[in-house]
Amino acid sequence: MVEAAIEGATVRLRPILMTSFAFILGMLPLILEGGAGSAGNRSIGVAAAGGMLIGTLFGVFVIPTMYVIFGSLEVRLRKKKQFSVGSY
């Protein structure tokens, strides 16, 4: 279970990071430029870039961790169920 999570995270790391960083860097002109309406543009850019950054961190670290936790929980529950059914 842990090996599968590590292998999946390793394979998906580069595409996730490249996509996320391209999006975040694409938001930089929206965040940094001044002029008419810059306050609204800045707030939209910061929210979008921050959301992408949080989503990236979530996708890289939290999702594989949750995969391992729920997978091992399922294995434990399946073993309990086998023992309780076999005892009749």
CB 3 within 8 A of CB 71: no
pLDDT at 27 over 90: yes
* pLDDT tens-digit readout, 38-66: 999 999 999 999 999 999 999 888 988 99
State the pLDDT confidence band at 34, using cuts at 50, 70 and 90: confident
What confidence score (pLDDT) does residue 80 get? 79
* pLDDT tens-digit readout, 73-88: 988 888 877 766 655 5
In the numeric block, which tokens belong to residue 21?
A: 């960083």
Burial of 60 (0-12, 13-18, 19+ CB in 10 A): middle
pLDDT at 69 over 90: yes
User: Which domains, ranges and CATH numbers included, belong to the chain?
Assistant: 2-86 (1.20.1640.10)
Reduced to 3 states (helix: H, G, I; strand: E, B; else coil), residue 37 is coil
Residue 35 DSSP symbol: S
Q: CA dihedral defined by 19, 21, 24, 28, rounded to 10 degrees?
A: -130
